Amino acid sequence: MFEELKTFIAVVEFKNFTKAGEHLNLSQPSVSTHIKNLENVFSVRLINRSVKQKTIVITESGFTLYKKAKEILNLIDITHMEVLNTSNSLKGHLKIGASLTIGEYVLPKFLAIFCKKYPDIDIEVFIENTSIICSHLKELTLDIGLIEGTSSSSSFIQEYFLEDKMVLAFPYNSELITDNFSFDKLQNQKWVVREEGSGTREFLNMFLGTNEIVPNGIMVLGSNYAVKEAVRNNLGITIISNFVALPGVENKELSIIELNNPYVRHFSYILPKNITISKASQVFLEEFKEYTSSL
The long-range contacts involving 44-48, CB below 8 angstroms and separated by at least 24 positions, are 46/8, 47/11
Q: Are 101 and 148 in contact (CB under 8 A)?
A: yes
The domain that holds 183 is classified in CATH as: 3.40.190.10
Whole-Å CA distances, 160 to 116, 247, 270, 279, 290: 25, 24, 9, 20, 13
Do residues 284 and 149 lie in contact, with contact meaning Cβ atoms separated by under 8 Å?
Answer: no
In a domain, 198, yes or no: yes
Is residue 124 in some structural domain?
no
Question: Is 103 domain-assigned?
Answer: no
Tell me, what's the pLDDT at 245? 95
pLDDT (tens digit per residue) in 67-108: 888 888 878 877 776 666 554 567 888 999 998 889 989 999
Last residue of a domain, one of 85, 113, 135: 85
pLDDT of residue 53: 53
Same domain, 169 and 259: yes
DSSP sequence for the chain: -HHHHHHHHHHHHHT-HHHHHHHHT--HHHHHHHHHHHHHHHTS--EEEETTTTEEEE-HHHHHHHHHHHHHHHHHHHHHHHHHT-GGG--EEEEEEE-HHHHHHTHHHHHHHHHHH-TTEEEEEEE--HHHHHHHHHTTS-SEEEEES----TTEEEEEEEEEEEEEEEETT-TT--TT--GGGGTT-EEEEPPTTSHHHHHHHHHHHHTT---SEEEE-SSHHHHHHHHHTTS-BEEEEHHHHHHHHHTTSEEEEE--TTSEEEEEEEEETT-PPPHHHHHHHHHHHHHHTT-
- The pLDDT value recorded for residue 75 is 81
pLDDT at position 229: 96
Residue 149 exposure: Cα atoms within 13 Å on the Cβ side: 21
187 located within any domain: yes
| CATH at residue 68 | 1.10.10.10
pLDDT at res. 184:
93
Q: Is residue 177 assigned to a domain? A: yes
> How many structural domains does the chain have?
2
Between the two ends of the chain, the Cα-to-Cα distance in Å is: 45
Give the span between the Cα atoms of 212 and 209, in whole angstroms: 5
Model pLDDT for residues 72-83, shown as the tens digit of each residue: 887 887 777 666
| Final residue of a structural domain among 65, 85, 105 | 85
Last residue of a domain, one of 20, 55, 85: 85
In the prediction, which pLDDT does 248 show? 94
Tell me the average confidence (pLDDT) per consecutive run of 10 residues in the chain, 295 residues long. Answer: 90 89 90 91 88 77 89 79 61 90 92 93 91 87 88 84 94 92 94 87 92 95 93 96 94 94 90 85 94 90
Q: Domain for residue 274, yes or no?
A: no
Query: Does 56 reside within a domain?
Result: yes
Nearest residue to 151 (alpha-carbon basis) of 213, 202, 81, 207 = 202
Tell me the C-alpha distance between 284 and 143, whole Å: 11
Range of the domain at 40: 1-85
> What pLDDT does 152 receive?
67
In a domain, 275, yes or no: no
